[in-house]
Amino acid sequence: MGKPNQRRPELEAAVGLSSNEALLEVRDLEVTYHSPGQLPTRAVEGISFQIRRGESLAIVGESGSGKSTLALAVLRLLPPYSTIVRGTVCFDGQDITLASESALQKIRGAKIGMVFQQPGMSLNPLMRVSRQVAEVIRAHYTWPWSQCQAKAMLLLERVFGSESGRLSQAYPHQLSGGQRQRVSIAQALACGPQLIIADEPTASLDGVVEAGILQIFHELRANGNVSLLFITHNPAILPDLADRVLVLRSGAVVEKGILQDVFRRPREQYTADLLYSLPIA
């Protein structure tokens, strides 16, 4: 991959890739929440986008704009009893909106890794973190347990550095929020996924810890062998992290394009307000 945020002609066409070029293609995705005795609430309004191999797409918007709902809908993690989902999600040529649950289990965690805003959604409070990462590997590979453990330790070393030996034996409650998020990232990377969806991974962290987490994503982006869907309400963290951006408001896309273009010359007042409410380096 080229230098971060370097203008590349091939990205100009990335807004409208052909199906065989796109790793992830979302078409006309709609999500409606419903509950007895209440009017239905449309959370996602006919969103379409594509991500090519090795590309990073950012989705930015204020809280409540539908960003997390979109991420969960892509992986079919929304509760079916309270949501209606329409549209198509194709991953690597496969329509996962029609896939069986067993087929989805072969995609989630293996081909698409998910980093949640709250690491508690993916961590078991009763299990040491090294085992939790190893269990992700064992779920998708027929490796001996010792090999799963060895791979888990390599992943934890990647996110913790010299502290990996000590922290790998900790339980989640013994770790800080930033440390738990690093474990969640190790889980997402465990099986070498083609795509990582990161849903507000730094939202609850202080500035110093946030910088450490973002550095991991910068390294993933620099390697160029994984696609990234990075979701945030904070556009200040996106330079050098994304190729393109979608701006969401009330569940709909109000602006999209090359990140540099959108940041320098926003067409919509909502985008400008979102950008200029925070300092962008």
Q: What is the pLDDT along the chain (281 residues), one digit of tens a residue?
A: 333 334 333 333 334 444 457 999 999 999 999 888 888 899 999 999 999 999 999 999 998 899 999 999 999 999 888 898 999 999 999 999 989 999 999 999 999 999 998 887 789 999 999 999 999 999 999 999 999 999 999 999 999 999 999 999 999 999 999 999 999 999 999 999 999 999 999 887 888 888 999 999 999 888 878 999 999 988 988 988 999 999 999 999 999 999 999 999 999 999 999 888 654 44
Distance of CA 148 to the CA centre of its chain: 24
Q: How far apart are the first and last CA of the chain?
A: 22
CB-count exposure of residue 66 (10 Å: 0-12, 13-18, 19+): buried
**Pairwise CA distance, residues 108 & 74, whole Å:** 10
The region that residue 44 occupies, defined by phi over 0 for left and psi between -120 and 50 for alpha, beta otherwise, is beta
**Is the CB of residue 178 less than 8 Å from the CB of residue 6?**
no
* Residue 118: C-alpha distances to residues 21, 67, 113, 176, 198 (Å): 32, 15, 15, 12, 11
Q: How far apart are CA 247 and CA 109, in angstroms?
A: 27
Residue 42 has a pLDDT of 92
Mean pLDDT score across all residues of the chain: 88
Angle at 55 between CA 156 and CA 221, to 5 degrees: 35
For 110-126, what is each residue's pLDDT tens digit?
999 999 988 877 899 99
In this prediction the pTM is 0.88
pLDDT at 277: 67
Q: Look at residues 265, 203, 276, 125 and name the one whose alpha carbon lies nearest to residue 255.
A: 265
Closest residue by Cα to residue 122 from 207, 166, 186: 186
